[in-house]
Amino acid sequence: MNLLDILDKTCIKAPLDATDKKGVIEELVAVLAEAGKVAPSDADALCHAVWSREQTRTTGIGHGLAIPHGKSRVLRELVMAIGKPMTPIEFAAIDGKPVQFVVLLASPVDRTSDHIQALARISRLMTNESFRQRLYDANDADAVFALLKEAEEKQAPAAHNATA
């Protein structure tokens, strides 16, 4: 899966205004609504779905990364928004460290495979410490998007060779 197939540059906000976990989720859902990825009238339902999932188990996966996610009947397709807090925020991460980068992922309830593939792709990208640090050091949405584009373009030939 290529993350650029589900991510528009308009769905990246750096820096975020929010300073807490719930605020980050609300702000990223608002970014999706502003970009036309979710109807403004459905934004509250999507926030609720993602926040409900967050309450069952933290999505702060460590190394400064959180991937809040959820499924909602209000969505027609997989959507993603990225946010970079102005300063690291508490997210109840499994390593106890604050979060520096947030990837919100949401999908229709019947798109489990796509949802899992996107989560796996994000996780694989972020295991590279050098790449992760470059994202954390990015100053704006353009820089974040450029780094993701570079990473996905490097991945594309490898994926093509694996299927050939």
* Domains defined along the chain, listed by start: 3-159 (3.40.930.10)
Binned at pLDDT 50, 70 and 90, residue 156 comes out as low
Beta bridge partners of 89: 99
- 141 pLDDT above the threshold of 90: yes
pLDDT per position as a tens digit, 93-121: 999 999 999 999 999 988 878 888 988 88
Average the pLDDT over 77-96 and give the result. 95
Which residue blocks in 13-71 are alpha helix, DSSP H? 21-34, 43-56
Asked if 117 and 45 touch (Cβ cutoff 8 Å), the reply is: no
Q: pTM of the full predicted structure?
A: 0.91
pLDDT per position as a tens digit, 16-28: 999 999 999 999 9
Q: What is the pLDDT of residue 27?
A: 97
